[in-house]
Amino acid sequence: MRAFINVSPPGRGGAEVSADEIRGLLRARGVVLGIQEQAIRAFIDRPRYNERIPVAEGLKPVNGRDARVSYNFKLRHDVQLKERNGRVDFKELDLVQNVEAGQVVARKEPREDGTPGQTVTGRILPAKPGRDTLIECGKNVKLSEDGMSAVAMINGQVLLVAGRVSVEPIYTVEGDVNLKTGNILFLGTVFVKGSVEDGFTVKAAGNIEVMGSVGKCTLDAEGDIIVHQGIL
């Protein structure tokens, strides 16, 4: 990958080596690539004798980048509190990630083949191509014909579970709708295993079913609203 010269000082009455002589010597030894003209000129201007001086350098191969999948939704549910009129709204947590039918939820960036290198003698050094990968699709998500994107088939909540991207038509609240869950806006059916506390809002494009009770709150559904234990 590199070529060096090691020049001895001229004897009495002898001549300094010239740049053309150095180039000719390199060609005679098969060095045809990466010759560093600046290094040769620097030696001619200020000779350094009995040292290994690099005057040619090859090109290292650049391996290809692996294919990558990027998701068009948050993989981590970091709470971003919103501010309204100078006050923080602790009820708007945006924990539900809604998608609509036909929306692209994931894309694949194709792998790259990489760039081969060359030694100073011109020998080709192959590069390793990047590894391919697939978009793993779960329920209610289909892969495009070229395999480069995944599309939601229904309205609902997009999730990444065990490496598979899915869309769920039902959003389940394991307990109460409170400060832990925040207000809920969902493009499907909402099922609440607990109650809905005072001051919170649940909106659904499908049904809303509450196994507990409902306080002084807002329930807005395009389908049915079912409350099992009563409305206060």
Q: Which two tokens stand for residue 76?
A: 């981590």
| Whether 202 contacts 217, CB under 8 Å | yes
Over residues 82-102, the pLDDT tens digits come to: 666 666 556 666 678 899 999
Over residues 27-60, the pLDDT tens digits come to: 999 999 999 999 999 999 999 999 999 999 999 9
Q: Which two tokens stand for residue 62?
A: 């650049």
- Residue 138 burial by CB count (10 A; 0-12/13-18/19+): exposed, middle or buried? middle
Q: Measure the CA–CA gap between 139 and 108, rounded to whole angstroms.
A: 19
* Whole-number percent of the chain with pLDDT over 70: 92
In order of 66, 158, 186, the CA distances from 24 in angstroms are 42, 67, 76
CA geometry: angle at 93 spanning 215 and 154, to 5°? 90
Q: pLDDT-based confidence at 161, cuts 50/70/90?
A: confident
**What pLDDT score was predicted for residue 60?**
96
What are the residues whose beta carbons fall under 8 Å from the beta carbon of 222, sequence distance 6 or more? 204, 205, 206
**What pLDDT score was predicted for residue 86?**
63
**What pLDDT score was predicted for residue 35?**
95
Over residues 166-195, the pLDDT tens digits come to: 999 999 999 999 988 899 999 999 999 999
- Indicate if the pLDDT at residue 198 is higher than 60: yes
- Indicate if the pLDDT at residue 79 is higher than 60: no
Q: Measure the CA–CA gap between 113 and 64, rounded to whole angstroms.
A: 5
**What pLDDT score was predicted for residue 170?**
94
Nearest to 152 by CA among 167, 163, 164: 167
Mean model confidence pLDDT for the chain: 91
| Whether 194 contacts 175, CB under 8 Å | yes
- Residue 211 burial by CB count (10 A; 0-12/13-18/19+): exposed, middle or buried? middle
**What pLDDT score was predicted for residue 26?**
95
